[in-house]
Amino acid sequence: MAAKKNKYRQYPPLTPSQIRNVEPKQLQIFDISVFNGTKPVADTSTGIVRSQSSFWLTSYRKVSESNFTYEEYLNQKEPEFVDLLMQEDFSDSVRNETTIYLSRLRKGTVHKNDVNIWLEKLYLTHQNNSFFIMQLLRMIRCFSFSYFYPSCLTLAGLAVHHESDFVKSEALSLLDHWGNIDVFRYLNYHEPPETPWLRHKYLAIKDSLERYAAIQEDRRNTVGR
């Protein structure tokens, strides 16, 4: 409680007259973690979710530029996110600091695709850094297939053709993790990697998904009868 009080002391609540004077475009989410269940209001011009309540406005920081978009906001957050991602240990849990951070960034926008596009941009910017790409794939694994669809499949597909065998291996594990019909179609359409151990892994995954798809098909036919 003490920490929260300090935060509000730093950013005192706005008075009703001040709230009326703040233009939607002049608002930027400062700390979305204060989301308290108040129904947020979408500002489609900037892509930023804002709230009408004064409680929400206390957590916003006024910015001078009027055309501040969510895309710019995400770009501003990039160094912080990259730092978090590089230090994260994804081996034990699906809920960690990086996934929580990203979920909050995603909650803050009305255009959910902004975050997908941002992740694709991050991949392209850091594609020479194998460790970064592996961490990015491990992070995507923590979310459901539909959460970042279709970008998640695009990124995994790109990573299967990355120059590093380790990245390829991580991408194949991610495809196996999803193990759905989209992945099966993707594997059918693409050639297996040339490196023998990766080829072995690729064929094992493809074979396993083929069997899984057949079981699903059988079941669909049985239930349909």
Partner 1 sequence: MLLFRKIDETRWAGKGYLESASVTELNTTDNELSVWMYDGTVEEIDLGLAFILTQKCFKDICCVKIPDAELEAKNLQLRQENSGTPYIEMQPYHTNIRVPTAKELCKLAGIIYELYQDHQNTCKYFTETDLKMHFYKKLAENKIEIDFKSSKNQEKWRVIKEMQSTMGVIDFSKLTNVISK
Q: Write down the least CB distance from residue 104 to partner 1, Å.
A: 22
Dist CA 124 CA 203 (whole Å): 28
For partner 1, the closer CB: 74 or 134: 134
Dist CA 109 CA 80 (whole Å): 18
Paired tokens of 48: 């930023």
Is the CB of residue 124 less than 8 Å from the CB of residue 155?
no
Is the CB of residue 98 less than 8 Å from the CB of residue 88?
yes
By CB under 8 A, is residue 191 in contact with partner 1? no
- Answer whether the bond into residue 150 is a cis peptide, omega within 30°: yes
One residue of 86, 205, 214, 225 binding partner 1 per CB under 8 A = 205
For partner 1, the closer CB: 30 or 90: 90
Tell me the CA distances in angstroms from 18 to 23, 58, 135, 161, one per residue in order: 10, 11, 43, 54
x/- letters, 72..101, toward partner 1 (CB under 8 A): --------------------xxx-------
Binders of partner 1 among 130-169, rule CB under 8 A? 165-166, 169
By CB under 8 A, is residue 177 in contact with partner 1? yes
Dist CA 155 CA 171 (whole Å): 9
By CB under 8 A, is residue 188 in contact with partner 1? no
For partner 1, the closer CB: 16 or 196: 196
Q: Write down the least CB distance from residue 135 to partner 1, Å.
A: 14
Distance between start and end Cα atoms, the chain: 60
By CB under 8 A, is residue 185 in contact with partner 1? no
Number of residues that bind partner 1 (CB under 8 A): 24
Find how far residue 178's CA is from the centre of its chain: 16
Residues forming contacts to partner 1 in the complex (CB under 8 A) are 92-94, 165-166, 169, 173, 176-177, 179, 195-197, 200-201, 204-205, 208-209, 211-212, 215-216, 219
